[in-house]
Amino acid sequence: MSEGRRKAIREAGAGRVGPEVSVFLPVFNEEENIPLLNSRLIQALETTRRTYEVIYIDDGSTDRSLDRLREIAARDHRVRVISLRRNYGQTAAMSAGIDHAQGLILVPMDADLQNDPADIARLLDKLDEGYDLVSGWRRERKDQWLSRRLPSVLANKLISRITGVRLHDYGCSLKAYRREVLSEVKLYGEMHRFIPVYAIWAGAKVAELPVKHHARGSGRSKYGLSRAPKVLFDLMTVKFLSSYLMKPLYLFGAAGLFCLAVSLVSFAWALYYRIFLSVHLNRMPLATLAMIMFAMGVQFIFMGLLAELVVRTYHESQNKATYLIRETLNMDDREGAPFQK
């Protein structure tokens, strides 16, 4: 590590107690992998020559994973263990890791030995180049093609297309974040894969780095095609938050105007049949369609207005700004200072 980098670390860590790097790993039924994983992880972190802590989050394991973690924590004070009361899922476990990590740099990874701990040093070095987030890319992924790789490729393309954030591998857990990038992130559902999207929206500088990926040696994968609907619903949420969080009426109003337009066209068509072809309205589906679409249009518009009230209440009740500031200059010493003519 260069002397300039060491100076920057000292300045960033001045006045705080805690390690430079926090690595946190959600664990669910990985008792066979934990001893070897921890050995490789500690070895990899020692080579970085940075202070560190390792946080294991036991996500309600039903095997002896927690016992293994207790044994490791008893031998090494740099290893912390968080045991959740039940299986909440990967996103909740990662959220617990973020909340309890004390490092300036946060590094999540999987506990199944498919991520390679040796890649952590490369991620940290890339972060030192001035990035706020470095995302791992499993370019040579060692998983089954049909059940894992193909859905992942399709999901990555879809997420990149809808969010406008171009990454090859959203599903790779191995990433490196500067702490401030995650300071305001709240994770729900399967939202952990969308953290790079939130980071870029907040103005973060993001890089992607190819990392090694190993075939699973023991244990069983907890993920499969059943996650696809969840990811799709979360993607819809992300799109809404990105495009319409501040002005939800634009979304609901557009849907309402579309319904009203369909209603108007249907009514005009039904009126034409009634006047010129003497067809009674109660025999025309067009009349029913016009009434239904009119009601839906009005409902959408009023939903948009209610959403606008919710957004304003959310920001004003908590005194939340509608913008994020990267930095300020000469703002802290303005109070009491006279303006110069």
Q: What is the CATH number of the domain that holds 178?
A: 3.90.550.10
- Report whether 73 contacts 80 (CB < 8 A): yes
274-298: per-residue pLDDT in tens?
888 877 777 778 888 999 999 999 9
Q: Are 74 and 157 found together in one domain?
A: yes
Q: Are 182 and 260 found together in one domain?
A: no
Pairing outcome for strands 21-27 and 105-108: parallel
- Report whether 47 contacts 65 (CB < 8 A): no
Q: How many other CB atoms are there within 10 angstroms of residue 286's CB atom?
A: 19
Q: Are 173 and 263 found together in one domain?
A: no
Checking if the pLDDT of 336 tops 60, the result is no
Residue with tokens 């969308």: 194
* Number of domains observed in the structure of the chain: 2
Q: Are 126 and 230 found together in one domain?
A: yes
Q: Are 240 and 258 found together in one domain?
A: no
In terms of C-beta density within 10 A (0-12 exposed, 13-18 middle, 19 or more buried), how is residue 201 classed? middle
Residue with tokens 């299986």: 87
Chain centre to alpha carbon of residue 205: 16
Domain membership flag for residue 324:
no
**What pLDDT score does 329 carry?**
47
Q: Are 217 and 201 found together in one domain?
A: yes
Show the tokens assigned to 73. Answer: 């924590």
In terms of C-beta density within 10 A (0-12 exposed, 13-18 middle, 19 or more buried), how is residue 242 classed? middle
Residues 6+ apart with CB under 8 A from 234: 189, 190, 191, 193, 194
> DSSP 3-state assignment of 25?
strand
- Report whether 56 contacts 112 (CB < 8 A): no
Dist. CA 176–CA 105, nearest whole Å: 7
Q: Are 36 and 167 found together in one domain?
A: yes
Q: Are 147 and 49 found together in one domain?
A: yes
Domain membership flag for residue 325:
no
Residue with tokens 């909740």: 92
Pairing outcome for strands 52-58 and 79-83: parallel
**What pLDDT score does 6 carry?**
45
DSSP secondary structure code for residue 246 in this structure: S
Q: How many other CB atoms are there within 10 angstroms of residue 248's CB atom?
A: 20
Torsion angle of alpha carbons 280, 281, 285, 290, nearest 10°?
160
Identify the residue with better confidence: 47 or 187: 47
Q: Are 96 and 240 found together in one domain?
A: yes
Q: Are 74 and 125 found together in one domain?
A: yes
Question: From residue 302, how far is each of 72, 166, 307, 308, 311 by CA, in Å?
Answer: 57, 35, 9, 10, 14
Q: How many other CB atoms are there within 10 angstroms of residue 306's CB atom?
A: 13
Show the tokens assigned to 178. Answer: 């500067």
* Phi, psi torsion values for 140, nearest 5 degrees: -115, 75
Dist. CA 216–CA 280, nearest whole Å: 69
311-325: per-residue pLDDT in tens?
778 767 767 665 555
Q: Are 149 and 271 found together in one domain?
A: no
Question: From residue 90, how far is each of 23, 193, 323, 328 by CA, in Å?
Answer: 15, 10, 29, 36
Q: Are 102 and 174 found together in one domain?
A: yes
Instruction: Report CA Rg, the chain.
Output: 26
Mean pLDDT on 226-241: 75
Residue with tokens 């791992």: 136
Dist. CA 51–CA 45, nearest whole Å: 8
Chain centre to alpha carbon of residue 287: 46
Chain centre to alpha carbon of residue 228: 16
**What pLDDT score does 225 carry?**
60
What's the N-to-C CA distance of the chain in angstroms? 48
Question: From residue 236, how far is each of 158, 231, 251, 270 by CA, in Å?
Answer: 11, 9, 13, 36
Domain membership flag for residue 290:
yes
Identify the residue with better confidence: 161 or 228: 161
Maximum distance among all alpha carbons in the chain?
Answer: 90
**What pLDDT score does 312 carry?**
79
**What pLDDT score does 153 carry?**
84
Q: Is the pTM of this model over 0.85?
A: no
Range of the domain at 170: 17-244
18-61: per-residue pLDDT in tens?
899 999 999 999 999 999 999 999 999 999 999 999 999 999 99
